Structure 1
Amino acid sequence: MDPLTALGLASNIIQLIQFTSDLVSKGREIYNSADGSLVENLELETIAQSLQNLSIDILPSHSSRTDKQLVDLCKKCNEISQELVKAITAVKANGPDKKWDSFRQALSSVWNQKAIDALSARMERYRSQLDTTLLVSLREKLESEDRTRLIFPQGLTRINAEAKKPWHAELIETLKQNDWQAKSQQDRIAFSSRLSDYSKDDREQLCKAHILEQLVFGDMGDRYKRIEEAHQRTFNWIFQEGRDGDFVKWLSNDEDLYWITGKPGSGKSTLHNLMRWSGSKPLVTAGFFFWNSGTVMQMSKMGLLQALLHDLFIIRRVSELLLFIDGLDEFDGDCTKLASFVLEHSARPNVKICAASRPWLVFEVAFKQRPSLKLEDLTASDIMLFVGERLRGHSMFNHLESIQPQEAKNLIAEVTGKASGVFLWVRLVISSLLEGLRDGDNMKDLQKRLYSLPGDLEELFSKILNQLSSSYFEQASKLFQLVRAAGETLSLLSLSFAVDGLDEAIDAEVEPLSSLEKNTGQKG
């Protein structure tokens, strides 16, 4: 067994010993926990599972004669864990509805005091033996290295390169520098202390990874990924001081809540996303985007809490926290309670919340005294910039503008004015105008096309649907019904297979998807 394997194995043994010792400790009592709960069968089940997982980690896959003592310790610790698992099973069977003040009290219902004390003594003895055995084992291997230079020709170079965890190489380096010897009690204590610290860090990282795994839910970041990036040079005004709804000023003052409101499609989510990642003040940020077209978790309070906790748990220390919560109006629940929840938690020390929603009365009443901005009142210049750059990206428009510059300028201004601050409307209208340019429209034709399009977003959607050719009605109906019935967001490829029918989907050749198939849903 090489030094790195021995260290990893020792760390797992220490975690098991420490976990078991904490369980049976007289001081590990639960008198007044946060929710007043005691040790119940659910906790016992979790403890049993933890013991089984830890015991699996200490089973060595191979060993040599020099590592026999270390392997024997593994087996003895594994035996203890199995004894405890059996005891937990007996406790659960004897008192399925009973509660205890501590695990030790629960254990005393099936073991006598002498047996519990004996187990504690065994764990202490095994830990002491482990320190001595591991130190002797490492000394033997490092001395062998010095003699032959065959195990690690470049000193600690190979250890550093192969170490699964940085502390493995650090501990071996420290051992060599301090020349720790197993015969010296002082050296054994120093070695044991350092090994305990590293093992504790290992355990904390494992627990953290497990918690993060439990917090994650399917499609947690799906809404975020679907938000379009802000067009170049748009929304930059949000970071300028002295503007209406001064966001920069809010970041540094004592106000705890900032409310962004706007019409559907006005760019609230796009702005929110830009603000989260481009803020100038060094705050720790976390965010969540409610989405009523997504899964149940994406529109629920539980989804909000899990996503925020996931973001924050990755960060070890939080001094000042800035939370971004978008789409309050897409919450599948009581919006009055959601608004109260936002206000309650924004009032916590060192917490700021930037929330976004449509201008619903429930949010206007709740947030009326807070700093805010109405997005459609501030985006006219952004929309004009976007419209001009998209149209001028077409060579035909550039040709028309060179002949009729004033008419081109008026067209851009008319699109901007008719948009009333709704970016989504602008995107749809620009697509129509570009289609006209492709078909050879002149400036008057483009103006007629613009005038024929409704200024209201919902009316525009209706017009687009009403212009659908009757030959596509059946396919459109299928797609709408599939999306409506789906319990989750469907990919383009899934929709494509669904439209083609079950037989063709089943008979399709199984092979890796091409980039075209992944991006467009078209099958080769």
Structure 2
Amino acid sequence: MDPFSALSVAANIVQFIVYGINIVSKGNQLYKSTDGALIENVELQEATIRLQQLSRNFDKSLDQSLSQGLSAQNDESIQKICGECKAVSKELVEKLERLKVPEGHPHKKWKSFRQALKSVWTKERIEDIAQRLSQLRIELDSHVLVSLREQVTIMSIQQNARFTSLENESKKIMFALLANNEALLAGIESNFRNLNLSSQSEHAKTREILHAHTEANHRRKAELHILESLRFETMKYRYETISEAHKRTFEWIFRDPDAEGKPWSSFIKWAESGSGIYWINGKAGSGKSTLMRFIVDDPQTQSHLQQWAPRENLITPAFFFWNSGVPEQRSQAGLLRSIIYEALQKHTHLFPLVFPEEWPKILELSRHEVSPISEVWSSSRLRKAFRRLLGCSSKEFRFCFFIDGLDEYDGDHEEIANYFSDISSLPYIKFCIASRPLTVFKDTFSMSSALRLQDLTSHDIEIYVKDKLNGHNRMKVLTAKDPRRSNDLVQELIAKAAGVFLWVTLVVTSLLKGLGQRDGFPQLLERLDSFPSELGHLYGHMLNLIDPIYMAEGARLFRTYKLHTNMLRPVTAEELYITHIVDLPRVLGTTSDDLQRARNEEVELLNSNFLDNHEFSIYDCQSLLEHMDYLLWTRCGGLLEINKGEHLREPSIHYEGTVEYLHRTAREYLDREDVWEAICRHETDGITFEPALQLLMCQVLRLKRLSISEITGLERTSRAIHHFWLEVCLICRVHNLVTIDSLKIRRRLLYEFDYQATNFFGKANVLSPENPELQHSSSYGFPSNWQSDFLCETIRYGLQFYVEAQYCPTKDF
């Protein structure tokens, strides 16, 4: 074989081997492939599929452009190219799919070999198709770029047209604005002027509101100044101490008298349409004050009066006279101050009308933040003010006054009765008055609507007695055994009472005491028969029931209480208790030698621990009141009693009850000369017991016991000390102690008071870096031209005996 033939055969063999290797290699690749396709075929197929998707997107875009009329000349060529792309790619994908080995073929090796053989045979065709697709893609890119350029050109032309149109419109707007510039400026100027006027108006309103608020504050200060000057401490004290009506009693006052079959003028008719005076009269102890308080408190009173006058234009002041109280509680001045105070407190617009002279001055001082001087109301000024108040009455503005205890008025009864009678003749003013049936009142009020209380309370007394007695377990047992005798006891008590409620309460108290001692009906009836029907005899009977061993203590309590009442102020249970337990032998010494030494030597009189060691602490309020209740009942027979209501006296810091007479008639009985002499005869230790000295020691002890923690600050400390000092001065001036011994002891007590007051003044944080020295207790509020010491204080308050003792120590008193 020639060389060329041998070379040709060798070349064919090599070519066959390479072809075989390619087949075997591709078969092995197909066998191992997960999707049964060659790697280059997979990549080619993916590229072809992406080209198909691109062609479809071009078709959609061209169709949308055609529908909107935005097609360009180049779009048809692009559409043809896309068609060819889709046809060629479809053919290529079909061929590539046929070259894949199906998944799960039973003869996968043989199938892989066959597919590899096909791949070798069809390789050139596939390459031709791929090359055609590449050329089509190049053409497509060129036509797309041309199409984009055409679209940009079209959009630019359209945008220029829009801008031209916008410019034209803007020019029109600018021309219109320039044309209306003057009108616009005028409108703006007008708006600014309106805004300025509105701002000025709002500022003016704000100033008016602030001015009105400031003026209202000044007016309120002026109003409070006048009200405070009218108010006195015990203004409501008598009202508060009157017992409330027992439940279901006195309700008949709001019923028709004809329906009840009782002889009294209809209170309802008088309240709703009547005029003048409605007079509630009754004998002592019949319950007039209790009924008056019931009328004042019960809402039905206001309901009936509103038929006569609208509620907002109705003034109903109330005042309760009490001749056992301070002067304001039993005087015309106190009456007018209380009535004017209550009226102005609820209707402040009346201030300028009632006080036309005082009001402008006080208001002007308030505007300048100057505190007015406290007013001193004389009787003539009060009567003028009251007449002006009554002058405010009209058809729309009416007055109904409630006055209790007119017979306790400390003045001319005829004059005060005529005064009210004249006023009540005015068309829009009326009075409800309660009093005992004194002759002068019978004559003055004879033509007025009236009732006589003792004739109308038999049923009320029956309710009270049954409720009190039947509430006791012992009485329930007795009534269950003998109901007839129980009823006879009640009826006999009612008959013997004769309408005197006070007598009933005293007898019922005694019967309850007997029931507590397991009395039967015989003993209860004996107790009832032993009580005199007349109050005077009854009070004597109550004194006779005091155990003889307590008579001397009772006399001391009566004497001390009477001296207290001469000071014209309520007596607290604390004060009476201290004066009872503190006497000179116990405080100054246990022997006469100790007493003499205390009188002759300047020693501290009062042991500061004395009250601490006593059985009852005076600051244990409940124990104090309970013990004083017991003392007054066993030593004074119940003629003195404690009112446990809240009555706080300035600058007192303790909750105290006050000691009072059982009733006004009890005071009248004890003031009888024969009765008082009999009481004083039981006091056998008069040398060592002097009530005035007891009162002095009481005030010093109270000052010594005053706690710094309870009163702080310069002003409050000074007020507290000043309060005790006024009490001491009042005792010294009212009770004239003439014996040498008592004057010496009194001077020692004043020494002690001065020492304790100044010491207390220093403890109350009064010292300061600017004032490092201990000042005298009188230095606060003392006139600058006076020296601040105790001697000046005694001169200022007229304690002559102390001044004489200082300057004339050897003078015989």
TM over 0.5: yes
Give how far 1:483 is off.
2.1
Q: Which whole-Å CA distance do the structure 2 matches of 1:424 and 1:251 have between them?
A: 28
Residues 1:396 and 2:474 are matched in the alignment: yes
Map of 2:275 onto structure 1: 255
Q: Does 1:188 align with 2:203?
A: yes
- In structure 2, the partner of 1:472 is 550
Whether 2:485 is the aligned partner of 1:417: answer no
Residue 19 of structure 1 corresponds to which residue in structure 2? none
Q: Which residue of 1 aligns with 2:245?
A: 230
**What is the one-letter code of the residue matched to 1:284?**
I
Match of 2:343 among 288, 312, 320: 312
**Residue 619 (structure 2) pairs with residue 513 (structure 1):** yes
Deviations 1:348-376 (A, max 9, x none): 33222100101110100110010000000
- The alignment partner of 1:194 has SS state of helix
Mapped partners of 2:232, 2:469: distance in 1: 41
Structure 1 residues 223 and 191, CA gap change in structure 2 (3 angstroms): same
SS at match of 1:455: coil
Residue 293 of structure 1 aligns to a residue whose secondary structure is: coil
Residue 519 of structure 1 deviates from its aligned partner by 4.3
Match of 2:724 in 1: none
The Cα shift of 1:470 comes to 1.6
Q: Equivalent residue of 1:191, what SS?
A: helix
TM-score, length-scaled by structure 1: 0.62
Write the distance in 2 (CA, Å) between the matches of 1:418 and 1:260: 22
Moved more, 435-444 or 372-381: 435-444
Q: 1:71-94 deviations in whole A, cap 9, x for unaligned?
A: xxxxxxxxxxxxxxxxxxxxxxxx
Which residue of the partner structure matches residue 521 of structure 2?
A: 443
Contact 2:317 2:401 in 1 (8 A): yes
1:356-406 C-alpha deviation (Å, 9 max, x unpaired): 101110100110010000000000000011001100011111111111111
Could you say if the C-alpha distance between residues 293 and 415 of structure 1 is closer, same or farther in structure 2, counting changes exceeding 3 Å? same
Separation (CA, whole Å) in 1 of partners of 2:488 and 2:478: 13
User: 1: distance between equivalents of 2:572 and 2:294?
Assistant: 26
Where structure 2 has 5 or more consecutive residues not aligned to the other structure, the ranges are 1-194, 259-263, 307-313, 350-392, 588-605, 629-655, 657-813
**How far is 1:196 from its partner?**
1.8
In the other structure, the counterpart of 2:138 is none
Give the secondary-structure state (helix, strand or coil) at the position aligned to 1:447: helix
Q: Secondary structure at the match of 1:354?
A: strand
Structure 1 residue 189, shift from structure 2 partner: 1.7
Query: CA contact under 8 A between 2:611 and 2:618: conserved in structure 1?
Result: no
Q: 1: distance between equivalents of 2:220 and 2:517?
A: 61
Distance 1:367 1:382 in 2: 26
Identity %: 34
TM-score normalised over the length of structure 2: 0.41
Equivalent residue, structure 2, for 1:40: none
Q: Indicate the larger mover: 221-230 or 278-287.
A: 278-287
- Residue 288 of structure 2 is matched in structure 1 by 268
Aligned to 2:431: 353
Instruction: Give the match for residue 492 of structure 1.
Output: 573
**Residue of structure 2 aligned with 1:290, choices 289, 304, 321:** 321
Instruction: Answer yes or no: is the 8 Å Cα contact 2:404–2:434 preserved in 1.
Output: yes
**2:433 partner SS:** strand
User: For residues 519 and 201 of structure 1, what CA distance do their matches in structure 2 show?
Assistant: 46
Equivalent in the alignment of 2:255: 240
For 2:363, the equivalent position in structure 1 comes to: none
Alignment correspondent of 1:34? none
Q: CA deviation at 1:253?
A: 2.2
Shift of 1:422: 0.7
| 1:407, distance to aligned residue in structure 2 (A) | 0.6
1:460 match: 538
Mapped to 2, the partners of 1:225 and 1:365 lie a distance apart of: 31
What CA deviation, in whole Å up to 9, does each residue of 1:11-55 have, x standing for no partner?
A: xxxxxxxxxxxxxxxxxxxxxxxxxxxxxxxxxxxxxxxxxxxxx
> Alignment partner of 1:314: what SS?
helix
Q: Return closer, same or farther for 1:505/1:399 CA change in 2, 3 Å cut-off.
A: farther
Separation in 1, partners of 2:228, 2:336: 14
Alpha-carbon displacement from aligned partner over 1:319-373 (angstroms, at most 9, x marks no partner): 2222111111111111011101211222233222100101110100110010000
**Matching of residues 40-55 of structure 1 within 5 Å:** none
Cα deviation, 1:177-217, whole Å, max 9, x if unaligned, reads: xxx99994323222221222222211221111111110111
Q: Is the 8 A contact 1:181 1:188 kept in 2?
A: no
CA 1:351–1:521: 2 relative to 1, 3 Å: farther
Tell which deviates more after alignment, 229-238 or 458-467: 458-467
Higher mean alpha-carbon deviation, 290-299 vs 466-475, is at 466-475
Does residue 429 (structure 1) correspond to residue 535 (structure 2)? The answer is no
Gap runs ≥5 in structure 1:
1-179
Residues 270 and 505 from structure 1, CA distance in 2 versus in 1: closer, same or farther, beyond 3 angstroms? farther
Q: Give RMSD over aligned pairs.
A: 2.5
Letter of the 1:251 counterpart: A
Deviations 1:141-160 (A, max 9, x none): xxxxxxxxxxxxxxxxxxxx
**Equivalent in 210, 214, 218 of residue 229 of structure 2:** 214
In structure 2, the residue corresponding to 1:406 is in which secondary structure?
Answer: helix
Partner of 1:15: none
Count residues in correspondence.
345
Distance 1:200 1:518 in 2: 50
- Greater C-alpha Rg: 2
2:331 is matched with: 300
